């Protein structure tokens, strides 16, 4: 009977709240309802932070109940905020290393940064979408008769490339520190969700692996693409005799927002059903990947993550003390 009561409490009584974050260079960004903040530690040990008020498009236009669309919009906003905070932390890091602050207002620097951003996006699409399609087209020349088989091969190649990429970059010292801050972010959110007092001692007790992590989200998207693109290719074959590499690339690229939206809904569903054994096991692959993208943080790194969350809440976090929550979004 006690187990039934606890299960009911977990499902029905735990308040959901939009809390999430992202590791940045020598710091952490935390997002809460209505705001987000980034905290960094300078070389002299000083902690600096930057807070912004923020209202989501989903809240502004009351789109919370728009299935799939809300997922894509959430991903877009998270990427936009993530890029801005990562860019800010990189500027601070670079200015410290060069002992001089670069002129961010110059037209040349702004243009160069935009160019680098566009190139990064194109490169990511080429590596994680273009390459799997290209190799699958070579391995399966006559691919029109079996869209599912083609997309299975493409999905396996995509996941393999992603794993190799993660393993390679995780060997870099700067990335290792970034992954430690990622772990600090997860521990801090777990601490917040638990209702216990938010401090380093309590946060260190929690795991670095979280079911609503962005790493799990990416893995789920890679699985969703197999089935989504199979349906898309099957429909396209009703109107097109031959699906060559170029046609597939354009179609799959245009459908990425849809895939992202579906991936968000799947992650949201699985993460809210962790008390059910089968759904807990379905979340395992994403959690296993986090063994690469998160590392155990030290106390100083946890201090930064906690500082960022408190700053995001505008130091009003005490009103949440003693209550248990489910964080909707984790970086």
Asked whether residue 208 carries a pLDDT value surpassing 90, the answer given is yes
Residues 273-296 have pLDDT tens digits of 777 777 778 788 888 999 999 999
Read off the pLDDT of each residue in 53-74 and give the average, rounded to a whole number: 81
Residues 292-328 have pLDDT tens digits of 999 999 999 999 999 999 999 987 787 777 777 776 6
Cα Rg of the chain (Å, integer): 21
pLDDT at 155: 95
> What whole-number percentage of the chain has pLDDT above 90?
41
pLDDT at 11: 33
pLDDT at 10: 35
Burial of 174 (0-12, 13-18, 19+ CB in 10 A): exposed
Asked whether residue 1 carries a pLDDT value surpassing 50, the answer given is no
pTM for the complete prediction?
0.85
Asked whether residue 144 carries a pLDDT value surpassing 70, the answer given is no
pLDDT at 283: 81
pLDDT at 163: 94
Identify the three-state secondary structure at position 37.
strand
Handedness of CA 42, 117, 295, 276 (dihedral sign): positive
pLDDT at 8: 29
Read off the pLDDT of each residue in 182-201 and give the average, rounded to a whole number: 93
Are 68 and 262 contacting, i.e. CB atoms less than 8 angstroms apart? yes
Residues 83-124 have pLDDT tens digits of 888 888 887 877 766 654 444 455 556 666 677 778 888 888
Are 63 and 70 contacting, i.e. CB atoms less than 8 angstroms apart? yes
For all residues of the chain together, what is the average pLDDT?
83
Burial of 81 (0-12, 13-18, 19+ CB in 10 A): buried
């Amino acid at each position: 009977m006690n187990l039934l009561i606890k299960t009911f409490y977990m499902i029905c009584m735990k308040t959901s709240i939009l809390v999430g974050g992202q590791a940045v260079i020598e710091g952490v960004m935390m997002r809460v309802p209505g705001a987000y903040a980034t905290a960094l530690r300078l070389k002299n040990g000083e902690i600096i932070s930057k807070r912004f008020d923020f209202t989501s498009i989903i809240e502004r236009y009351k789109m919370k109940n728009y299935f799939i669309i809300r997922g894509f919009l959430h991903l877009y906003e998270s990427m936009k905020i993530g890029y801005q905070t990562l860019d800010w932390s990189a500027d601070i890091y670079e200015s410290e290393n060069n002992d001089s602050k670069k002129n961010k207002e110059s037209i040349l620097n702004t243009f160069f940064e935009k160019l680098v951003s566009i190139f990064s996006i194109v490169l990511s699409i080429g590596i994680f979408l273009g390459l799997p399609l290209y190799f699958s087209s070579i391995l399966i020349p006559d691919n029109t008769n079996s869209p599912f088989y083609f997309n299975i091969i493409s999905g396996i190649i995509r996941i393999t490339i992603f794993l190799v990429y993660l393993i390679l970059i995780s060997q870099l010292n700067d990335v290792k520190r970034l992954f430690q801050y990622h772990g600090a972010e997860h521990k801090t959110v777990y601490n917040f969700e638990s209702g216990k007092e938010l401090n380093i001692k309590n946060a260190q007790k929690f795991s670095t692996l979280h079911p609503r992590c962005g790493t799990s989200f990416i893995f789920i998207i890679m699985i969703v693409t197999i089935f989504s693109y199979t349906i898309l290719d099957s429909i396209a074959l009703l109107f097109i005799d031959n699906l060559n590499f170029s046609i597939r690339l354009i179609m799959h690229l245009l459908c990425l927002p849809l895939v992202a939206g579906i991936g968000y809904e799947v992650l949201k569903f699985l993460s809210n059903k962790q008390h059910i054994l089968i759904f807990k096991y379905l979340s395992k692959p994403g959690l296993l990947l986090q063994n690469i993208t998160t590392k155990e943080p030290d106390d100083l790194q946890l201090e930064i993550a906690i500082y960022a969350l408190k700053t995001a809440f505008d130091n009003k976090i005490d009103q949440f003390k003693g209550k248990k929550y489910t964080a909707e979004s984790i970086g």
